[in-house]
Amino acid sequence: MPTKPLYLLGREIHRGRTSLTMDIARLHTRTKIEVPVIVEQGKKPYPVILFTAGIHGNEVNGIEIIRQLIAGGYNKPETGTIICIPVVNVFGFLNQSREFPDGRDLNRLFPGSPTGSLASRFAYHIMHEIVPQVDYFVDFHTGGASRYNFPQVRVDFKDHESLKLAKIFRTRFILNSETRDKSFRETLSKAGKRVLLYEGGKSLHLDDKITSQGIEGAIRLLHYLQFHDFSDQISSYEYSQDPVLIRSSAWIRSNHSGMYRRMVDNGSLVKKGQKLGSISDPYGDFEKHVKAPRDGFVLASNHAPIVTQGDALILLGSLG
């Protein structure tokens, strides 16, 4: 493990708290897009873990998780360095939108370019000024649009070390998930970093259960990696059952347009042929049931009352 000083955004990091700001971009008004970076260092600078949220500006549950980690003092390590970026996409957060100011999805533009779009330039600076110093990453997300994700950690099961860390984080479901092209997770994985992606809840909605599980998972991880002794906190957590390893998953999509009613809860186990919901017209002349094509667990569900043909309705996960 390196013993040299830790540098982030051109500054040497010392023991205690250091508040940094990423301000590499400006709006058309010449207003800076300032992204706070909160750093806490213990007796030694290494290892380093980074918690990020708000890459999609409307995914507020992750922002609340990191806020509570900071407010509760859980980001203060005995050894090593904990970096928190609660809101990566500040502009999207201000506008309650998923995208960056240039209309692009930041999480599809890594590793970025110093001469590319605004979002691409921002991704480039994260990758070059912060990522090289970090050993472990936890990136918090929620479901997009009206989709509600049951708490889950997504990793590539071929990455045995990250899978081990996911089991320590301990959500009910751990999902074998290939990385998306040019996503933050894919780029970090290619760089040999250990990264967990936590999914829970839906956009523009705060959920106490989702945030509590994210906080508890982060604390378990920090304890396991020996950033801090959290034995007392962890002993108070309720354990229900071991994580379920989901080896494959696929969306059940709507074959019809109309008014949609869900009939199953997130996290539930459903059987092949079971009714999952129904789609009808508004006039009482047409109604079709959505049925499970196989056994599986409901990992996410669409909460929209109106759907169109082809919309994602239920994310069904399988053990095999």
User: Roughly how many angstroms between the first and final C-alpha of the chain, as a whole number?
Assistant: 38
Q: Are residues 238 and 251 in the same domain?
A: no
Amino acid 312: pLDDT: 97
Q: How far apart are CA 150 and CA 27, in angstroms?
A: 36
Among residues 222, 219, 195, 216, which one has the least CA distance to residue 79?
Answer: 222
Q: Are residues 175 and 300 in the same domain?
A: no
User: What backbone torsions phi and psi does residue 61 show, to the nearest 5 degrees?
Assistant: -60, -40
Q: Are residues 18 and 164 in the same domain?
A: yes
Residue 1 belongs to some domain of the structure: no
Q: Are residues 151 and 26 in the same domain?
A: yes
Q: What share of the chain is helix, strand, coil (3-state, %, to 5)?
A: 25, 35, 40
Question: Each residue of 59-87: pLDDT tens digit?
Answer: 999 999 999 999 999 999 999 999 999 99
Q: Are residues 12 and 132 in the same domain?
A: yes
Which domain range does residue 158 map to?
Answer: 6-245
Q: Are residues 103 and 175 in the same domain?
A: yes
Q: Are residues 121 and 171 in the same domain?
A: yes
Q: Locate 243 and state its tokens.
A: 């994580």
Question: Each residue of 280-294: pLDDT tens digit?
Answer: 999 999 999 999 999
Which CATH number does the domain housing residue 15 bear? 3.40.630.10
Q: How far apart are CA 198 and CA 66, in angstroms?
A: 12
Tally the domains of the chain. 2
Q: Are residues 157 and 19 in the same domain?
A: yes
Residue 57 belongs to some domain of the structure: yes
Q: How far apart are CA 100 and CA 163, in angstroms?
A: 31
- Please list the alpha-helical segments (H only) found in 132-225: 160-169, 184-190, 208-224
Of the ranges 17-31, 70-84, 189-203, 289-303, which one carries the lowest mean pLDDT score? 17-31
Domain end position, chosen among 228, 245, 262: 245
Q: Is the pTM of this model over 0.85?
A: yes
Q: Locate 250 and state its tokens.
A: 């696929």
Q: How far apart are CA 190 and CA 175, in angstroms?
A: 19
Q: Are residues 194 and 314 in the same domain?
A: no
Q: How far apart are CA 137 and CA 62, in angstroms?
A: 14
